[in-house]
Structure formats: C-alpha cells, structure tokens
C-alpha cells in the first residue's frame, strides 16, 4: 500500500467568511459521559485475536485498587469495557515512607491489546511518532489528581511506574474516563436485524460512527482527527440511517465550501483547530465528492435553499474536472491531482476514475435541475460522451469486464462502473459474476473504504447474497479478532498488516469503515 504526502505550501486559499460563519452556526453540542472502568487485565498470547495478543482478568481486582502499592516497573492495565473517545483522570497517592523523589510514570492508551505490546522506541514508520498515545509524567508531590488535557481514543489504559524510590510505592484510585461525542443516542433507532452476525456488525458500525462524530465528522479520533471529504461522504450516508444529524453534515459542507483554492478547487481535508485551515492536499474524486455529499443530503433531507446556495461550488468542481477529459470523453489523469480510489498505487486507476466521474456527474445534473442551471444540456452532453467512451472503449465485451490502462483488469474498475450504472442491470450482473470468477478472491486491498465499494456494487448489481457474505467475511472478521470498532486498514489475508509499520499508530476506529450501518439499513 502507498500514499504520498502532498506539499503545496505556495497555494493561496480564499476564505468566504459568510460560509464559514454558517459552518460555525452548526457547531454541535459535545455530549460528555463519565465512564468507570470494568476491570484490570493482563496481556496474554491468544492466536484468535489480532496479532496474537489478547487479555485476561488480572489477579488484581478493580474494586481493590486502593490496596495495591506499585513500585519501579510495576504496571496495571485498566479495561473500560468499551471504546472511548475522551479524557482520562486518576487519583494518585502513596504508601510507605515520605515521598523523597518524584513519581515517574508512563501511560499508554490503546484501542486494541496489540498496541500495548508494541514499544514506541521500536517504531520507525513514515507517520509521525507524535501520534503514539503515550505520556511520560513526573509528579513531585502526592497526593494528586492527574487530569490529562489531551483527548485519547482507547479502551485500555496501561499505567507503568517508571520509578519512585525504594522507600515508598504509588497507589492509583478512581480512574475515570469522560467520553466525548456529538452523536445523540436518543435519536438512534436500530432496525430489526435477525442475523446475529449482521446485528453485531451493525452495532460496531454505530459505535465507529458515533466515536468519529465530534466537532466535525472526523476520519479517525485517534489519529488525523480532521475532516476528510471521502470519509465525510460515507459517514453522512451512515448518519442519515442512524442518528439523522443533518446539521453536522451542513457544517462540514460549509467548511469545505468556505475555504477553496483561488481557482475554486476544494481541498481533500480541513482542520478546525486551532482555527479553520484547509490542507494543501488535493485528490481528484474527493473534490468531486463534495457534489455527492450535497446530493445525498438533499435526498435524505430536502433542502432546496442549501442546494442553490452551494451549487456554484459544485459547478466549479465539475468544470475543473471536465477539463481533464479529452474530446472523446476520456479521462486524462494527472499525477499532481491524483485519482485516489484506494491507498494502493499498484493498479491502474484511470477506468475507476472515469466511472467515479460518471457517478458524480449524474448527481450533479440532478442538482443542476434544482438550481435551474442554463448550462445543464452541456453537462448532459458531457455525460453522454463519457458514458459512450466507457461502453465502447473501456468495456471488453469478449471478457465481460472493463479494462484499465495497460490492458489491466482490476476489481476497482468493475466496481465503480457498476456503481455508476454505465451498463444495463443485466450487463452489470454479468460483469459482477465475471469479476467473482476471474478476479476473486480479493487480494492486496486493505481498506474498508474499497471493501465498502465492492459490497455496495454487489447490492446495486442485484447480488445480495454475495454482498452479505462479503460484509460478514470482512467486517465480521474484525469482530472475531477482538474489534469494538472498525479499523482504518485491514487485510484478511494479513491480519497483522499495518500501512505504517506498527500497530501502535494504526487507527482502530476509523470513519470510512462505519458503512455497514448504511448498507444494512438501505439494502437489507
């Protein structure tokens, strides 16, 4: 897998203060809930869990925590029993002689037990080690209440005493977490799901979505903690089926619309702290998915006024995109404005990018009708040209598959052409069955983002049984490995896979993996 950092520090952005003020008006209430720990645990070897690391009950009991004095190298692992995004506190005192030296402790926060086994000193990945959820703290005076100001994403907290003094031991009491989320569970109505595995997958998807619903729809509460457009499109779809928080989607759309490049292009992601800042990263379909997100919002909650207000931003994205097509309706990709599709750069993405554009252009034309755009016939002509090129030049009727650059047949090309409904329903089913026969099992795809596209293509193509099997096999496998929430990256053939070289920076609660909530609600 590969992803390349973009550095475009010379870009100038336009800030539309009117739109940003509207984004601010939709800032959500953050619900805070105190959570007490469930138990104390110890790490154990467990081949059924991720990376062979599980937990068991400790001989120490959480109810007797005040009785345990911890000296140098002693540690406890606190299990809160569920995934939490929030802040941690603990009371600390001592037992023994007077405190003749500072208390020196290390705290590690983990979403999965495997993170506690990994040592930060061994990490040599390409992401910053500053994302590692680990704190070293000196306390000169005890008793004290340690209240950490940073927000963490975790289920487990390990407290290790690096050192005290031979004369006394540290005592930890009343550990507590305060969870934070803008998701309102009182509005959640879970559908009746008779299948036990799908019901568990749905529940974990809801938790994943809720933990990522913060000040914006974050892509991951542990790492990145920002708003990405590709993630937003999928989170919003799940949200409509679950919490119905329309205002949070509007806030995110206004943030993107309010901070564009001088030419009108939308950044792939934005930061909201310490202030609203657009990133200097641009991805082809992420900019286009602004259109999709507005279209999906209007389908879920009719808002003609919002569509008309943001339509000029949509039009700018589409007009910039159409410049990348030649006279035959063929997408000419540009490495400076990469087509994402999936992390991997090991397959040709031109055919998938062509299909993504057709998918979004159909949605754009629907918005153009609402906005009363006089140029709508031009866009319809462009759609016809692109579709004709896909059907006549990219579709191999002898193979019953779409072909990408360098005569390559890959899953992503078929999936996005299905989602874009380039062919008839009967032809789509034939393509999917050929894909299963010739391109399955799925190999070297390690993101729930792409697996979502595959599953939805099965549903859209009428292969419901195959879709359900894929959802159970992929997301269900994460549950069997110990997941409380769904992950940023997962390759069933290589469960220990990390795109960063270590589980210690993996995101085990990530926005683009919450979509079984949407898939189950819409198709089942």
The CA distances from residue 407 to 10, 351, 358, 389, 428, in Å, are 38, 11, 21, 16, 20
Residues 221 and 164 in one domain: no
Q: Is the pLDDT of residue 5 over 80?
A: no
In a shared domain, residues 151 and 245: no
How confident is the model over 59-67, as a mean pLDDT?
A: 97
Where is the domain boundary, 180, 212, 240? 180
Q: Is residue 186 part of a domain?
A: no
CATH code where residue 158 lies = 2.60.120.260
Quick one: what percent of the chain has pLDDT higher than 70? Answer: 99
Where in the sequence is the domain holding 221, given as residue range(s)?
200-523
Q: What is the mean pLDDT of the chain?
A: 96
The tokens for 147 are: 């209240």
Under DSSP, the state recorded for 375 is: T
Q: What is the pLDDT of residues 164-218, one digit of tens each?
A: 999 999 999 999 999 999 999 999 989 999 999 999 999 999 999 999 999 999 9
The DSSP code for 455 is: H
CA distance 504 to 400: 43
Mean pLDDT of 15-35: 98
Residue 489 lies in a domain: yes
CATH number at residue 442: 1.50.10.10
Residue 20 has what pLDDT? 98
Cα(519)–Cα(509) distance, rounded to whole angstroms? 18
Confidence of residue 1 (pLDDT cuts 50, 70, 90): very low
pLDDT in tens, 226-255: 999 999 999 999 999 999 999 999 999 999
Same domain, 86 and 217: no
Q: What is the pLDDT of residue 3?
A: 55
Q: Flag whether 37 is in a domain.
A: yes
**Predicted model pTM:** 0.97
116 and 263 inside one domain = no
- Whether residue 10 is contained in a domain is answered as no
Dist CA 484 CA 213 (whole Å)? 16
Segment 16-24 shows an average pLDDT of 98
Q: What confidence category does residue 345 fall into, taking pLDDT thresholds of 50, 70 and 90?
A: confident
Which pLDDT value is given to residue 501? Answer: 85
Nearest to 363 by CA among 429, 311, 427: 311
Q: How many CB atoms lie under 10 A from the CB of residue 274?
A: 6
Q: What percent of the chain has pLDDT over 90?
A: 95
Output the pLDDT for position 8: 81
**311 and 339 part of one domain:** yes
- Enumerate the H helices of 333-490 as residue ranges: 350-371, 376-389, 411-419, 425-439, 448-460, 464-480
Q: Are residues 329 and 389 in the same domain?
A: yes
Residues 172 and 287 grouped into a single domain: no
pLDDT tens for each residue of 293-329: 999 999 999 999 999 999 999 999 999 999 999 999 9
Beta strands in 46-128 (DSSP E): 53-57, 75-96, 103-110
pLDDT for res 406: 84
Q: What is the mean pLDDT of residues 51-68?
A: 98
Query: Residues 6 or more apart from 415 whose CB is under 8 A from it?
Result: 352, 435, 450, 453, 454, 457
24, part of any domain? no
- One domain for residues 210 and 137: no
Contacts for 60 with CB less than 8 Å, ≥ 6 apart = 40, 68, 76
Q: What is the mean pLDDT of residues 73-78?
A: 98
Residues 139 and 206 in one domain: no
Residue 2 clears pLDDT 70, i.e. is over it: no
Instruction: Tell me how many domains the chain contains.
Output: 2
Q: What is the dihedral of CA 477, 478, 480, 484, to 10 degrees?
A: -150
More confident site: 394 or 503: 394
Boundary (domain end) residue, out of 149, 180, 211:
180
**How far is Cα 81 from Cα 71, in angstroms, rounded to an integer?**
26
193-209 burial by CB neighbour count: b if 16+ within 10 A, else e?
A: beeebbebbbbbbbbbb
- pLDDT (tens digit, 9 = 90+) per residue, 77-131? 999 999 999 999 999 999 999 999 999 999 999 999 999 999 999 999 889 999 9
Question: What was the pLDDT predicted at 7?
Answer: 81
242, 335: one domain = yes
Q: Is 3 inside a domain boundary?
A: no
Instruction: Confirm whether 66 is domain-assigned.
Output: yes
Q: What is the pLDDT of residue 62?
A: 98
Q: Are residues 416 and 506 in the same domain?
A: yes
Burial of residue 414 (CB within 10 Å: 0-12, 13-18, 19+) is buried
- Clarify whether residues 45 and 169 are in a common domain: yes
Token duo for residue 29: 């209430």
Average pLDDT rounded to a whole number, residues 472-499: 96
Instruction: Examine the pLDDT at 259 and tell me if it is beyond 60.
Output: yes
**3 state SS of 144:** strand
Rounded to a whole number of angstroms, the CA Rg of the chain reads 25
Q: What is the pLDDT of residue 11?
A: 92
In a domain, 25, yes or no: no
**In contact, 324 and 332? CB cutoff 8 Å:** yes
Listed residue (501, 497, 391, 485) closest to 83, CA to CA: 485
The CA angle 36-40-45, to the nearest 5 degrees, is 135
The secondary structure element, H or E, covering residue 33 is strand 31-35
Q: How confident is the model at residue 444 (pLDDT cuts 50, 70, 90)?
A: confident
Query: Tokens 């089942």 label which residue?
Result: 524
């Amino acid at each position: 897998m590969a992803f390349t950092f973009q550095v475009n520090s010379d870009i100038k952005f336009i800030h539309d203060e009117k739109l940003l003020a509207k984004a601010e008006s939709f800032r959500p209430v953050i619900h805070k809930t105190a959570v007490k720990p469930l138990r104390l645990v110890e790490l154990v070897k467990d081949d059924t869990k991720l990376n062979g690391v599980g937990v068991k009950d400790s001989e120490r009991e959480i109810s007797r925590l005040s009785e345990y004095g911890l000296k140098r190298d002693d540690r406890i692992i606190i299990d809160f029993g569920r995934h939490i995004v929030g802040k941690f506190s603990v009371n600390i005192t001592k037992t023994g002689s007077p405190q003749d030296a500072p208390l020196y402790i290390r705290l590690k926060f983990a979403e999965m037990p495997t993170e506690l086994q990994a040592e930060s000193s061994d990490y040599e990945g390409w992401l910053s080690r500053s994302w590692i959820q680990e704190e070293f703290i000196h306390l000169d005076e005890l008793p004290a209440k340690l209240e950490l100001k940073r927000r963490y994403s975790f289920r487990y907290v390990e407290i290790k005493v690096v050192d005290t003094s031979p004369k006394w031991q540290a005592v930890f009491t009343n550990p507590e977490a305060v969870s934070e989320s803008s998701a309102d569970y009182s509005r959640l109505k879970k559908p009746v799901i008779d299948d036990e595995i799908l019901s568990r997958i749905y529940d974990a998807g809801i938790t994943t979505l809720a933990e990522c619903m913060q000040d914006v729809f974050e892509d991951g509460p542990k790492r990145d903690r920002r708003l990405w457009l590709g993630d937003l499109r999928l989170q919003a779809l799940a949200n409509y089926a679950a919490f119905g928080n329309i205002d949070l989607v509007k806030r995110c759309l206004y943030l993107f619309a309010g901070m564009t490049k001088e030419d009108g292009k939308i950044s792939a992601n934005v930061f909201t702290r310490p202030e609203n800042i657009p990133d200097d990263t641009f991805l082809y379909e992420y900019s286009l998915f602004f259109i999709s997100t507005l279209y999906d919002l209007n389908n879920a909650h009719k808002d003609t006024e919002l569509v008309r207000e943001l339509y000029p931003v949509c039009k700018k994205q589409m007009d910039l995109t159409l410049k990348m097509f030649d006279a035959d309706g063929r997408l000419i990709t540009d490495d400076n404005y990469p087509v994402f599709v999936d992390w991997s750069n090991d397959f040709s993405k031109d055919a998938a990018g062509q299909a993504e554009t057709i998918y979004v252009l159909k949605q754009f034309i629907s918005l153009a009708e609402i906005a009363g755009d006089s140029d709508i016939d031009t866009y319809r002509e462009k759609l016809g040209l692109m579709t004709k090129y896909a059907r006549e030049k990219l579709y191999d009727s002898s193979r019953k598959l779409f072909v990408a650059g360098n005569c390559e047949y890959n899953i992503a090309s078929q999936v996005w052409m299905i989602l874009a409904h380039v062919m008839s329903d009967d032809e789509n089913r034939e393509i999917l069955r050929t894909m299963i026969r010739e391109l399955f099992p799925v190999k070297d795809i390690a993101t729930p983002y792409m697996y979502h596209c595959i599953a939805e293509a099965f549903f859209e193509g009428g292969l419901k049984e195959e879709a359900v099997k894929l959802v159970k096999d992929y997301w269900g496998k994460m549950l069997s490995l110990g997941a409380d929430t769904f992950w940023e990256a997962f390759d069933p053939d290589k469960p220990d896979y990390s795109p960063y070289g270590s589980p210690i920076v993996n995101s085990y609660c990530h926005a683009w993996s919450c979509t079984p909530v949407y898939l189950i609600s819409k198709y089942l």
